[in-house]
Amino acid sequence: MASSFLTLLFHLLTISGSFVQISSLGFGINYGQIANNLPSPSRVALLIKSMNVTRIKLYDADPNVLLAFSNSNVEFVVGLGNEFLGTMTNPSKAQSWIQQHLQPYLSQTKITCITVGNEVFNTNDTQLIMNLLPAMQSVHGALVNLGLAQQVTVTTPHSFNILSNSYPPSSGSFRQDLLQYIQPLLAFHSQFNSPFLINAYPFFAYKDNPNEVSLSYVLFEPNPGSIDPNTNLHYDNMLYAQIDAVYAAIKMLGHTDIEVRISETGWPSKGDTGEIGATPQNAAAYNGNLLNRIEQKQGTPANPSVPIDIYVFALFNENLKPGPASERNYGLYYPDGTPVYNIGLQGFLPEMVIAPNASGSSVNFIACIITCFIYAWELLRL
């Protein structure tokens, strides 16, 4: 009963959205699940709908999530973790994975991209690095065989530290030790028109050097900015400079036809003692100002006609992520659906639906029905 109700409510919200005709927000969001206290995918589907977000990036191909978003207008990026790269170099196993984990959901859930691995060049694992491109080629080949290559692209996200130089942006260049891998990878992107993905976090630059890096510059706040001496282009924030540095590095290797997209960026609301700048105020400023610029469809100084394409990290705080405290505090929301800070997103996470038990106790179930339908009615009245 609980599952059926949430499905009904999801479709009611979909109908309400069509009545009010709110244009969807221009950013995507990373939906990570390294936690033991997150709401069910069916409840998350309602939260995403109420936020008016229409693009989600997963780190796997969780069938529960893909099913929860059936018949929605949400586009998905699904992921193959680094642990799959060796297996995916085998074309038959790549095709089997797609047939099992992708094809069953494509008729009802929009899946537009597969990421193969994540920050592979950051692992310093030579075998993993050598498997990356063959795995991507196998996955793409399988999509071709299944008639899905026009519908689903193949790419891989990189850490920003694959660049050896990023300043000034026009002098951006890739690390010398990675060129033998990046050059053929760029040829793949160019041939199949798939985007080059970068995980870019100005927070790290500020945290590591707060005396030299302007906080206003990394938070998109008013500041003098900087001038690229080679191009005379003015940069008023670090993220745009980072994006253009990647474009410059790609151009240096002979490609001008590959789009750079940001697969992750964000700011933690909490950190360890040494993680300077990890506060809710800074996180709200970074993400809030970034969303405003996305809404304006801004391009970077070197590519003003190409609106920035960004997936914000992340939807929820994830309490089981390893590493410093900041890693567990990038979420826009706490797992109970409460915003970590206010940046104007009107998200709504319905309460847990508890079906009536044998003794006839149905108070929680009825309360949830009333709460959710009141919310849906308010949407219809907008």
Catalytic residues: 119, 264
Q: Nearest 10 degrees: CA dihedral of 17, 18, 21, 27?
A: 60
In the chain, beta strands by DSSP E: 28-30, 55-57, 75-80, 110-116, 153-155, 157-159, 163-165, 173-174, 196-199, 226-227, 234-235, 260-265, 310-312
Residues β-bridged to residue 113: 77, 153
How far, CA to CA in Å, does 134 sit from each of 108, 130, 230?
30, 8, 37
* CA separation for the pair 308, 319 (Å, rounded): 30
Q: What is the CA radius of gyration of the chain?
A: 22
* CA separation for the pair 15, 142 (Å, rounded): 36
Q: Is 193 left (phi over 0), alpha (psi -120 to 50) or beta?
A: left
How far, CA to CA in Å, does 155 sit from each of 107, 135, 139?
22, 10, 10
Tell me, rounded to whole angstroms, the distance of Cα 27 from its chain centroid.
9
